[in-house]
Amino acid sequence: MRIVILDGLTTNPGDLSWEPLERLGSLTVFDRTPSAEVAARAADADAILTNKAIVGREQIAALPRLKYVGVLATGTNIVDGEAARERGIPVCNVPEYSTPNVVQATWALVLELTNRVGHHDRTVHEGRWAAGPDFCYWDGDLVELAGRTLGIVGHGRIGRGVAHVARAMGMRVLHHRRQSGGDPGWVDLDTLFRESDVVSLHCPLTPETKGLVDARRLGLMKPTAFLVNTARGPLVDEAALAAALNEGRIAGAALDVLSVEPPPASNPLLAARNCVITPHVAWATPDARRRLIDVAAANLAAFAAGRPQNVVNA
């Protein structure tokens, strides 16, 4: 079996091994692949794996030998699943590999907003403490989370993990998913945005959730509330969020994802007030990336054995 990884650099920049996939066939790994080069690079491939390289209808049509598409991620919006299904090609993802990391990163962002650790560290290294007259100082409000309300949009494994930590910190937890199922703490979206002191996004990007955080929902939030997004950038109307931050209508935001990655310099959030941004790293510990490779290999092995698993376009 000929296997082509279209954009392997972010998954494995050299600190891990591709050996689990090398065992399954002849493996070629490209660091990055523009859309226009997918067809040429994967022309002889039986199986392709992609993280963010787009495999759309056009690319699938240009690959007559293709039998399998693996996604080196959980989200699969970069692959045209319907076009693959029409050809009988399974699209398989890797669920759950990053759950502990994203939970951890979510709380790192929440704590940066509420304790401002990074900001205070920078001021100390700039000499402010050494030059100060007092034994301590702080910039802005430091926020105690105990007794406050966390609203979680999306109540899968990551959302539940974030909720577990919130309860350990003494927070009240509200959550929303498409169907309540009678779950304790379930509320409609408007209630969640209105009552929460921190809103954290953990839902998939779908046509229904694109732009979910728009000007109207931001207008429901408390002026002291924070927004955190470690899910998908297009869940948020970025111009509306930048306006809400700059006008002081919410207290701050922390984002690990943006609508276009890497962002153009014109993205309004890059200059917005009280906006913490990290470069889509919530998933990226070596432990998580090693799990990602192992499960991607297990998915391909299961397909080769006639028992495909983690199929998202069945």
58 catalytically annotated:
no
| 250 in Cβ contact with 244 (< 8 Å) | yes
Unique residue bearing structure tokens 């209808």? 57
- Collapsing DSSP to helix, strand or coil, 7 comes out as coil
Q: What is the Cα 313 distance to its own chain's centre?
A: 21
Catalytic-role residue among 2, 157, 177, 280: 280
- Report phi then psi at 152, rounded to 5: -115, 120
Residue 218: exposed, middle, or buried by beta-carbon count in 10 A (0-12, 13-18, 19+)?
A: buried
| 47 in Cβ contact with 300 (< 8 Å) | yes
Q: How many CB atoms lie within 10 A of CB 169?
A: 16
Residue 76: exposed, middle, or buried by beta-carbon count in 10 A (0-12, 13-18, 19+)?
A: buried
291 catalytically annotated:
no
116 catalytically annotated:
no
Catalytic-role residue among 202, 232, 289, 291: 232
Q: CA-to-CA distance for 253 and 182, rounded, in angstroms?
A: 30
Catalytic-role residue among 32, 164, 261, 273: 261
Q: Which of 261, 149, 267, 150 is nearest to 202 (CA)?
A: 150
User: Catalytic residue numbers?
Assistant: 232, 261, 280
